[in-house]
Structure 1
């Protein structure tokens, strides 16, 4: 296994001999791919990849992802140690430094959105996002959390620090709430392609959680997932729920917070579309295109309008893992509410 603790590699790093370290990474990764397969190779070489992404000059660090070294030598978007190698790289250098150097489109996109999460405005000069997600944070995205806590803080020799995913984080501002009776009529569960895409987007954020959608208000959605009818809960601004929803996608080391931001915008675009498509069942797609085949491109104005009117309800569960998320998102215009609830131990 190639690790930073290898004396020879540590000496090369201390001497700044990055081309030799990159060559060692590529040689080791290709050999491991041939012997054990792509997934095993990514794990075996990730510690050295982390070191290069963290400490090497950007002109060399970006070459971790280039395929000019031959088959099996390049890191992909899933290569990770304490976190994805592309996220390590993105925390170390500005987009101005990285943009002329980064090649592979999937890595380039994730790095760009990581830089946006870190407060950089890429709205001018960067290629537009293929799904229309803005390359700078909207005010409601920036309002709920400190810049320093938006992405993992990576350490030079490996490892990272990150905030725990907890929503709600405490009982502060919450009170005893009686949830409504469980919805029992078939019409209480809206369907349609846009609703399905919104649920899929929320489910992708936290695959360890359950998701539901109902006609009605947020507590009705919460009632489908909460363990008890009487809970400690309450409403909070969407801006305060946003950080937990983004972090949910980055609970595992293979994904970064850029995955969470993109996934949440995808879900919000579907929610906004459901509200504006003459009913949440999604019938009547224009231009003869079936909505099952449509792709929700994020309309910034529609998403901002949805967030402005969104009502968010959160509640506590009697037993929750160190990562937990219990929130229902209500769109009063569309008359529907989505809920996400689950917990996970470290």
Structure 2
């Protein structure tokens, strides 16, 4: 099987012979698909794909995702080495360079949202997002983390650096808190499709973590997942919790931070819808069906409702006695809707 480790391919890369490297990638991927299937082919050819996405001119690098080469030759959204190949590409070039070149809609969308996370405002320079997720960062998205830490930093010959997912990261600002009794009562649990969508949205962000939803305040939700009633915990602004929620979706190498941003907007939209039209910034049922600016039908997001929810959200975080290298312990409370959600889990590298 052809991989980047082959000396011949290294020589081609050093000589800038990118068309030949792309041809080798396509040939190797198609052969691997025929022999071992799509998943195995993606893994075997990923190192060479990473090199092309990282170092090739954008006019050639985007052709990794072009199906014109024939069956099995094109990378998909799940092809990854240190991270998704489309995310590697998105960290290397601006949207202005990539927009006229990118073809497949799923790849194009993820690249666009990666560029948004990196600080580009595409609200007037790209096609609208199909779910209505804004193509520029809201102030609360931008304020919680440095631009350089929002997406993995990829290395030329493979590998990447990324900020660790740790919330809480330390005991700073936290104190001893006694959580309420965690007796699970059916009548204390929200029900209905909106509650299910909100909970599913959080679960999709961090499939390695447990999630719950309760009628009540954030500590009551935390109590269902915390190991002990007495914890070291405290409240923090949602803007400081936002980076961890986005990164939660990108703990594995197959997904990028764009997945996290899109998933979190879906979850927040479902949470906001539970508060009803009387919430600050809320709208009526007709508006939720897509008749207001920023919404896109039942599966879209309402930008105004999400911003209003974030403005009033109360976020509670707590420490656990033992946590993996990646860990997330967070409860989110909407005081208007009287509903709280919690997500808690840890994962070793």
For Structure 1 versus Structure 2, the TM-score category normalised by the shorter chain is over 0.9
Instruction: Encode CA deviations 1:19-47: one digit per residue, 9 max, x unaligned.
Output: 00000000000000000000000000000
Distance 2:281 2:168 in 1: 43
Secondary structure, aligned partner of 2:232: strand
Task: Please say if 1:317 is aligned against 2:320.
Answer: yes
Distance 1:217 1:238, change over 3 A: same
The answer (yes or no) to whether the contact 1:194–1:291 under 8 Å persists in 2 is no
The answer (yes or no) to whether the contact 1:167–1:327 under 8 Å persists in 2 is yes
The answer (yes or no) to whether the contact 1:193–1:291 under 8 Å persists in 2 is no
Corresponding residue pairs, total? 338
Note the C-alpha offset of 1:287.
Answer: 21
Distance 1:225 1:291, change over 3 A: farther
Distance 2:184 2:209 in 1: 22
Note the C-alpha offset of 1:291.
Answer: 10
Distance 1:291 1:191, change over 3 A: farther
| Structure 2: runs of 5 or more not aligned | 288-296
Distance 2:169 2:281 in 1: 46
Distance 1:35 1:244, change over 3 A: same
Could you list the structure 1 runs, at least 4 aligned residues long, displaced by more than 4 angstroms after superposition. 285-294
The answer (yes or no) to whether the contact 2:222–2:330 under 8 Å persists in 1 is yes
| Structure 1: runs of 5 or more not aligned | 277-284
Distance 2:21 2:285 in 1: 50
The answer (yes or no) to whether the contact 2:12–2:20 under 8 Å persists in 1 is yes
Instruction: Encode CA deviations 1:186-205: one digit per residue, 9 max, x unaligned.
Output: 22100111110111110011
Note the C-alpha offset of 1:3.
Answer: 2.9
RMSD of the alignment, in Å?
2.8
Note the C-alpha offset of 1:286.
Answer: 20
Distance 2:162 2:280 in 1: 44
Distance 1:191 1:8, change over 3 A: same
Secondary structure, aligned partner of 1:21: helix
Secondary structure, aligned partner of 2:264: helix
Note the C-alpha offset of 1:182.
Answer: 1.6
Distance 1:163 1:287 in 2: 34
Instruction: Encode CA deviations 1:221-277: one digit per residue, 9 max, x unaligned.
Output: 00000000000000000000000000000000000000000000000000011112x
Distance 1:184 1:291, change over 3 A: farther
Note the C-alpha offset of 1:297.
Answer: 1.4
The answer (yes or no) to whether the contact 1:140–1:239 under 8 Å persists in 2 is yes
- Cross-structure match for 1:26: 26
Instruction: Encode CA deviations 1:299-346: one digit per residue, 9 max, x unaligned.
Output: 111100000000000000001000000000000010000000000011
The answer (yes or no) to whether the contact 2:281–2:305 under 8 Å persists in 1 is no
Secondary structure, aligned partner of 2:52: helix
- Cross-structure match for 2:291: none
Distance 2:159 2:214 in 1: 41
Distance 1:52 1:158 in 2: 11
The answer (yes or no) to whether the contact 2:281–2:308 under 8 Å persists in 1 is no
TM-score (norm 2): 0.94
Instruction: Encode CA deviations 1:111-157: one digit per residue, 9 max, x unaligned.
Output: 00000000000000210001100011000000000000000000000
The answer (yes or no) to whether the contact 1:166–1:323 under 8 Å persists in 2 is yes
